[in-house]
Amino acid sequence: MSPASRQRYFWEGCAVLLIIATIGVAAQGSCRMDDGGPGECIELLQCQQHVSVITAIRSGRAPTSEYARLRRLVCAIRAGNVLLLCCPAESLLPSDCGLTAQPDRIVGGEDAYVGGWPWIAMLYGSPTPSSDKLFFCGGSLITSRYVLTAAHCIYRGDVSTIDLVRLGEHTVSRDIDCENNDFGQQRCAPHPQDIRPESAVLHPNYDRPGCLRCNDIALIRLSANARLNEFVRPVCLPINPVQQMGFAASEFIGKFGWAAGWGSVGRSLFDTRQPDVLQQVQLQVLSCSSPGVLCALGPGKDTCRGDSGGPFVLSDSRGLRFFLVGVTSSGNVVCATEGVSTRYTAVHEHIPWITQTLRP
């Protein structure tokens, strides 16, 4: 019998043996891995980790006993003996993330390179039901289907206030963005992608009584997958900073990261000038007394109104990938006030909620 035939009969046998045990189990939803960690009940072929295990078994790089573990992770069976397995929630996050062409109202910032921050998103719509439509907040693409933003950017959690999420934008007034590289060759980005949001989930403890702007973080599920390319690409999340980035979350303090956005470039509350070109600014992470928050500051530099929800990223110790460590949340009334830092929702402290909320 060929290996493919043995594999087919193995899974069909699993379906027969386990169908009684799985009667009444939801066809899709949350589940628990064998180590107790959060998972998502999805089709086998949608879980890259399980597919990799099967590939390793077939090639002799993993013992056949791994089949028994996969069998224990069966969480439902669909018609036609289609098995659904519990897949680690973080495996829904892409491994090809945080890469940028960036050479080594944002106040005191500078124009970003085309494609420099390929995960940045713009939210277009009405910040409140009575306001005009405009690009009013930022966000970060973390999978081809999800954008992470600030909870306060979604009015009362109603995603209908957001008409579209734009990806791959750089210069708002231009349809096609081009620039010359260091060798004088022109490099152009494709048209930006405008995708309607399907749903939004605010952190359940956002703005709880006595803690204004706590857990200021939300997930927007897009109505269609983003088309990934050099100019539209997810950012990495710090699931395990030591392993992924080469240093612990406690060591973020003192490091320099980057924020980006199209927010106001004026310091005054009444100066609402917004840039046409995506701005970037380098800020230093400071010690912050508030739980679940990162603080960052630069001399005469800051994020400002309109930058809310946008990314604050740190690179790993090798300078190869960028990780989303903060979601722009709040700052001083007068942007870039000397000695006053901006608050960013600490992404690493919200990883469990993020991974448990994601769906395929």
pLDDT confidence of residue 266 = 52
Cβ atoms within 10 Å, residue 165: 24
Cβ density class 20-45: b for 16+ within 10 Å, e for less: eebeebeebeebeeeeeebbbbbbbe
Residue 162's nearest CA partner among 201, 136, 191, 192 is: 136
Total length of the chain: 360
pLDDT confidence of residue 158 = 86
Structure tokens that stand for 96 in this block? 């090809």
Structure tokens that stand for 115 in this block? 């494609």
Band the pLDDT of 271: cuts 50, 70, 90: low
Is pLDDT at 107 greater than 60 in this prediction? no
Task: Sketch out the chain's domains with CATH numbers.
Answer: 3-89 (3.30.1640.30), 110-357 (2.40.10.120)
Pairing of strands 110-111, 342-346: unpaired
pLDDT confidence of residue 302 = 44
Active-site residues: which are they? 152, 216, 308
Band the pLDDT of 310: cuts 50, 70, 90: very high
Which carries the bigger pLDDT value, residue 215 or residue 90? 215
Cβ atoms within 10 Å, residue 88: 19
pTM > 0.85: yes or no = no
Longest distance between any two alpha carbons in the chain, whole Å: 76
Q: State mean pLDDT over 224-245.
A: 94
Residue 303's nearest CA partner among 275, 269, 262 is: 262
Is pLDDT at 244 greater than 60 in this prediction? yes
Q: State mean pLDDT over 209-216.
A: 78
DSSP string for 31-48 = EE-TTS-EEEEEEGGG-H
Q: Which of 143-152, 295-304, 322-331 has the highest mean pLDDT?
A: 143-152
Structure tokens that stand for 227 in this block? 């088309």
Is pLDDT at 331 greater than 80 in this prediction? no
